Structure 1
Amino acid sequence: MTRFIHDQFAKDYLEELLSPLGEIQSPRRVAGEVRQIDVYFVPNPTETGDRSTLGLLGKLATTTALFEPFRNPVTVTEICDCLLKLLEVRGELQRETNRNSRNLSDAELPKLWIITPTASVKLLSGFGATLSNDWPNGVYLMQEYLRTGIIVIHQLPKTPETLWLRILGRGNVQKQAIDELEALPVDSALRTNALELFYQLQESLGFNQSLAVEDRELVMRLRPLFQERLAEVERLAEQRGEQRGEQRGKQEGKQFVVENLLRFRFGSLDEELSAIIEPLLALPPEEFTPLLVQMVQLSREELLARFREPNP
């Protein structure tokens, strides 16, 4: 199932965007039965970063919060599980303040944000979740003391303020968000970090041989972004080559591309991977460039096998 791949992407994505604004615990275990909070966020009061760059997500990150993103529409049971996590965290905080002989203030109580692509009217009304004038369409709040909101991604207005949450949507909603992400200035750190996570998502999905149509379409949408990144690495390599002399520079430039691509693809460049760089560079151009593009689809074992010397 690819749901777990998307779930991990959502957790990594939220952690990446929120970490400059405070402390992240992902996952965080809570008492009782073994339960894990997907992302537990505690804002840093001394952090001077501009939360407004994250729009609606930045607004959610002004208080301690549990973030529970769902790839599929959230169910009644899943919401109840999330509420249990919230109450267990509240219990932990209450016990800690009791040990320190002080009262737990409302400001210290965490909020729960459940992020789902869609939600039925019946589900929302069953939990008493309603729209508020203080929040955009798609943000439903439960009763005050529950400190819980349900964010229905596909109902959010298509504005820059909601972009960073719409990226966690599905189908056309996610595709449009990716288009908007791609259109951001290339020097945007948020754009770069989000795209890096999308590259990893494409890799993970690419290894699955039984993708649903929606996931296959997502892989196709992400492929040009990976090729764009590859082109950027090649451009940097060419610049490096020009600085070091034409012939020698070209070879060093190609090596620079290969080394960086291997590090990006497999996390590090160990002895086995380093050993295939020279034979890879020796490939003729008509084989070299296609292999670089295909590398995102190849496992480590498949890539090593292509350059492994046959047994005599």
Structure 2
Amino acid sequence: MTRTAHDQFAKQYLEELLAYLGQVQTSRDVPSEVRQIDVYFVPAATPATAPENLGVLGQMASTTGLFEVFRNPPTPVEIRTCKLKLYSLQGDLLRQARREKKSLGESDLPRLWVLSPSCSERLVNGFGAQLDESGNWIPGIYFMPEFEKTALVAIDQLPASLNTLWLRVLGRGATQQQAVNELLSLPQGHPFRRNLLEILSNWRVNVQLRQNPNEENRELIMNLSPAYLQLREEAVQEGVQLERKEMLEDMLRFRFGTIDEELASIIETLLQLPRQELTPAVFNLSREDLLQRFSRS
């Protein structure tokens, strides 16, 4: 699978999650040669959700940052290219601040997060990256020297918990497979679950449509299939439930002429009745009995 196809998914996936916390730009150009950042993020003053809800990803999103996502482990050259994007962007932001007569401190400058399915010991040591010793960050995240403002995230080394779920979905092999299963096990009302399942399902469809899929693509299709099938099943169930609700509304209109606010308030409760009990309830009970028996209050 090409990096371009994975880029498209990763950008859409991170944009969906990070949009709750601030402003997200994908494929942002940086000066000199045209280079694009996968995801550029600026935190909002009042985010739509608490950063803690996104676990480690929310912790990363506490400051302005660049997110570069790799489907395969990056080479040293690719890491240096990511760092070049970071420094080019920092220069652009500093020039803009001078034009606007503002000051940017070190803490205001963006940080680079390189998200990789794995990181070899050679790669980590070669860039002088180390685990955080302060206890603020979990294992699997390697920080380069302070002023380089860059971290390598080895997704396969992250502890398996809800705190890391949103990052582990971007992994490979068994790591991704487990994360997708955990995503499926979230309650259906979870604010992130449905949209992320749709993104994963679309990615699977796009990969499957490719001719002559290689071994990597076949593995990816297998990992994403549970999300795809679950979304289809839920869509069918929602269609059946919608059809049943429309039928109930027609019955209530036939019986009472119109559906006012009081009758509308008991529709969801009536829908929980077995089919064989629903019709007798609507046609045999008076309006007052219906409201008294099925009112949620």
Normalised-by-shorter TM-score class? 0.7 to 0.9
Percent sequence identity is 44
Residue number in structure 1 paired with 2:43: 43
**Highest CA radius of gyration, 1 or 2?**
2
- Deviating runs (4+, > 6 A) in structure 1? none
Residue number in structure 2 paired with 1:11: 11
How many angstroms does 1:4 deviate by?
A: 2.2
Residue number in structure 2 paired with 1:60: 60
Q: For the Cα contact (< 8 Å) 1:171–1:214, is it kept in 2?
A: no
Question: Using the alignment, how far apart are the partners of 1:206 and 1:175 within structure 2?
Answer: 17
Q: For the Cα contact (< 8 Å) 1:73–1:117, is it kept in 2?
A: yes
1:190 maps onto 2:196 in alignment: no
Question: Using the alignment, how far apart are the partners of 1:53 and 1:179 within structure 2?
Answer: 19
Q: For the Cα contact (< 8 Å) 2:110–2:149, is it kept in 1?
A: yes
Equivalent runs, 1:33-112 vs 2, <5 Å: 33-47=33-47, 49-112=49-112
How many angstroms does 1:22 deviate by?
A: 0.5
Residue number in structure 1 paired with 2:169: 167
Q: For the Cα contact (< 8 Å) 2:173–2:223, is it kept in 1?
A: no
Question: Using the alignment, how far apart are the partners of 1:207 and 1:60 within structure 2?
Answer: 34
How many angstroms does 1:81 deviate by?
A: 0.7
Question: Using the alignment, how far apart are the partners of 1:178 and 1:121 within structure 2?
Answer: 27
Question: Using the alignment, how far apart are the partners of 2:93 and 2:3 within structure 1?
Answer: 32
Residue number in structure 2 paired with 1:121: 121
Q: For the Cα contact (< 8 Å) 1:2–1:205, is it kept in 2?
A: no
Question: Using the alignment, how far apart are the partners of 1:172 and 1:243 within structure 2?
Answer: 41
Residue number in structure 1 paired with 2:285: none
Question: Using the alignment, how far apart are the partners of 1:138 and 1:244 within structure 2?
Answer: 51
Residue number in structure 2 paired with 1:229: 231
Flag the 1:89–1:158 CA change in 2: closer, same or farther, 3 A. Answer: same
Unaligned runs of 5+ in 2: 252-297
- Size of the aligned set, in residue pairs, is 248
Equivalent runs, 1:230-245 vs 2, <5 Å: 230-245=232-247
One-letter code of the match for 1:65? G
1:142 maps onto 2:144 in alignment: yes
Question: Using the alignment, how far apart are the partners of 2:247 and 2:103 within structure 1?
Answer: 70
One-letter code of the match for 2:55? G
One-letter code of the match for 2:170? L
TM-score, with structure 1 as normaliser: 0.75
Flag the 1:221–1:113 CA change in 2: closer, same or farther, 3 A. Answer: closer
Q: For the Cα contact (< 8 Å) 1:69–1:116, is it kept in 2?
A: yes
Q: For the Cα contact (< 8 Å) 1:66–1:112, is it kept in 2?
A: yes
Q: For the Cα contact (< 8 Å) 2:18–2:61, is it kept in 1?
A: yes
TM-score, with structure 2 as normaliser: 0.79
Question: Which of residues 202, 205, 214 in structure 2 aligns to 1:203?
Answer: 205
How many angstroms does 1:48 deviate by?
A: 5.3
Question: Using the alignment, how far apart are the partners of 2:112 and 2:219 within structure 1?
Answer: 32
How many angstroms does 1:124 deviate by?
A: 1.2
Q: Per residue, is there more helix in 1 or in 2?
A: 1
Question: Using the alignment, how far apart are the partners of 1:64 and 1:105 within structure 2?
Answer: 12
Flag the 1:65–1:235 CA change in 2: closer, same or farther, 3 A. Answer: same
1:152 maps onto 2:154 in alignment: yes
How many angstroms does 1:244 deviate by?
A: 4.5
Question: Using the alignment, how far apart are the partners of 1:94 and 1:245 within structure 2?
Answer: 62
How many angstroms does 1:12 deviate by?
A: 0.9
Coordinate RMSD, CA, aligned = 1.9
How many angstroms does 1:3 deviate by?
A: 3.2
Residue number in structure 2 paired with 1:280: none
